[in-house]
Structure 1
C-alpha cells in the first residue's frame, strides 16, 4: 500500500513539475525534452485542451508527441488524474492535436512567405538552388514524383549527399491557402529565422503522425532508394525529434 502511494505521489510530482528541460509523459511515464511532448490543460466546461504552444495558464499534463500516445491518454483517462479535476477528453482529441500542429506549420509557412523567404515555380526554384540560397524545399504532397525527384537531385548536386530538408506534408490546396497563391507545387525556402521555425513545426507534425520514411517527401510519393541512399527510417527513431537530421520531412 505504501509503495503504491509513493508511486502515485511520484507520478503526480512529475506532472506538477514544469521547470527544467524535461517533462514526464502521462502515458509512458518516461521523461523527454518538452519539444517531444504535447501539453494539455483544463479549459472551460472541464474539457481537455491541447496547448501546442506551451503558453496556456494552469496545471498541465504532458503526453508524448504521438497520435497513438494521445489516443491512449484518452482511453486510460489520464487527464483527470493529472489535472486533479474532472476532465473531459473528446474521443477525437488525437485528430484535434493533428489539426492544430498542421495549422501551426502552415502559419509558419505563411510567416516565412511574408518575410520574403519563399520562391515558387519549378524554374525559379531550380535557379534558387543553383544560386546556393536555399534552406529547404517544399513539395506539394499531391505533386508529381518526377518534379520532386529532379529538384531533389539538383539540391544534392549543390549541397552534397546530406543536402537540405525537403518538406512534403501538405497538399497543393493547403500550400496555396498559406501562401495566397495559386497551384503551388514546389517552393524554395530561403535561409532565415522563419524557415527554421517552419522546419521545427513540420518536424513536430511529422513525428506526431509517425512518418517513418525520412528520405522521401513525407505524405507524398517517395523517392527511390537508389536516388536517395539508404533509408534513415529503419532504425525505429523516426518518432524521436532529436534524431530528425534527415533531408526530408
Structure 2
C-alpha cells in the first residue's frame, strides 16, 4: 500500500530525531559529493580480505568511505566503482551490498522494538491496543507487514475517535513482519502493537526514520522536528540501551 502524506511526515520527523541525535564533523558522500552529517551517511571499510563492509555503528577500524544513507546512493557508488577510489585500495563489492544494508536496518529496527518492549513501552493484541489508545498517550502503532487491512482500519478509527485529526500525526510502522514482531517481543502471533510515549519509544522511531530514508520513503532533507514534539520524550535512547 502506498504511504500517505501523513505517514511521510511522521517518518520525516522520526528521521529528524535520528539525524539530530549527535553532532559530529561533516563528511562527503563519494557518490553525490554532498557534505552531510555522519548521521545522514553510511560508513564503509574494507575487511581484512578486501571486501567492502558497511559500518553502520561507525566503530570498525581502518580507513573509511562515506555514502549517503540511501539505497540508490549505495548502488551508484558500487556501479561507479567509487569504493576502491575512496578506500584507496583494490576491493571487492558484494553484489548484494545494498540489499544487505536494508536487511541490517530492518534488524536494527527490530532490536529497537525489543528495547522499547524491555522498557515496558509496548502493548500487543488488537483489543489491548484499542484499550491503550483510550487510556494512554500513543507514540506509534506497529502492524505486521501482512496484517489484514480490516484490523488496521479499526485501530485507526479508534485512534481518530481519541485524537481527531491529530491521529494522522501518529506514526504507523508496517516494515516488520509478524515473525520479526514475534522475535522482538518474545511472544507468538503478534499482528498489532502500540508504543506508549516514554523511554524506548524514541529510539525505535529514530531507527524507523533511518530505514525510511534508506528506502526512499522520505527525502533526506526532511523538515526539522517540531520543538514541542522534541520535548515530548526527552529520555536519552542510550539510557534505555544501557538498561537492556
For the aligned pair, the TM-score class normalised by the smaller chain equals 0.7 to 0.9
**Number of the residue aligned with 2:15:** none
Secondary structure of the residue aligned to 1:44 is coil
Q: May I ask how many residue pairs the two structures share in their alignment?
A: 202
Is the Cα contact below 8 Å between 1:204 and 1:241 reproduced in 2? Answer: no
Distance 1:116 1:140 in 2: 20
**Number of the residue aligned with 1:242:** 222
The structure 2 residue matched to 1:204, chosen from 207, 210, 217, is 210
**Root mean square deviation, CA, Å:** 2.0
For structure 1, which runs of at least 5 residues remain unmatched after alignment?
A: 1-18, 212-237
**Number of the residue aligned with 2:127:** 123
**Number of the residue aligned with 1:136:** 140
Is the Cα contact below 8 Å between 1:207 and 1:241 reproduced in 2? Answer: no
Is the Cα contact below 8 Å between 1:169 and 1:206 reproduced in 2? Answer: no
**TM-score normalised to structure 1 length:** 0.75
Is the Cα contact below 8 Å between 2:136 and 2:196 reproduced in 1? Answer: no
Distance 1:45 1:158 in 2: 56
The structure 2 residue matched to 1:42, chosen from 43, 46, 56, is 46
Structure of higher CA gyration radius: 1
**Number of the residue aligned with 1:101:** 105
Q: Which has the higher contact order (CA 8 A, sep 6+)?
A: 2
The structure 2 residue matched to 1:187, chosen from 182, 185, 193, is 193
Secondary structure of the residue aligned to 1:136 is strand
**Number of the residue aligned with 1:216:** none
Distance 2:112 2:127 in 1: 24
Is the Cα contact below 8 Å between 1:208 and 1:239 reproduced in 2? Answer: no
Secondary structure of the residue aligned to 1:88 is coil
Distance 1:87 1:108 in 2: 32
Distance 2:59 2:163 in 1: 37
**TM-score normalised to structure 2 length:** 0.77
Distance 2:61 2:164 in 1: 45
**Number of the residue aligned with 1:224:** none
Secondary structure of the residue aligned to 1:193 is coil
Distance 2:163 2:62 in 1: 46
Return the offset for 1:32.
2.3
**Number of the residue aligned with 1:15:** none
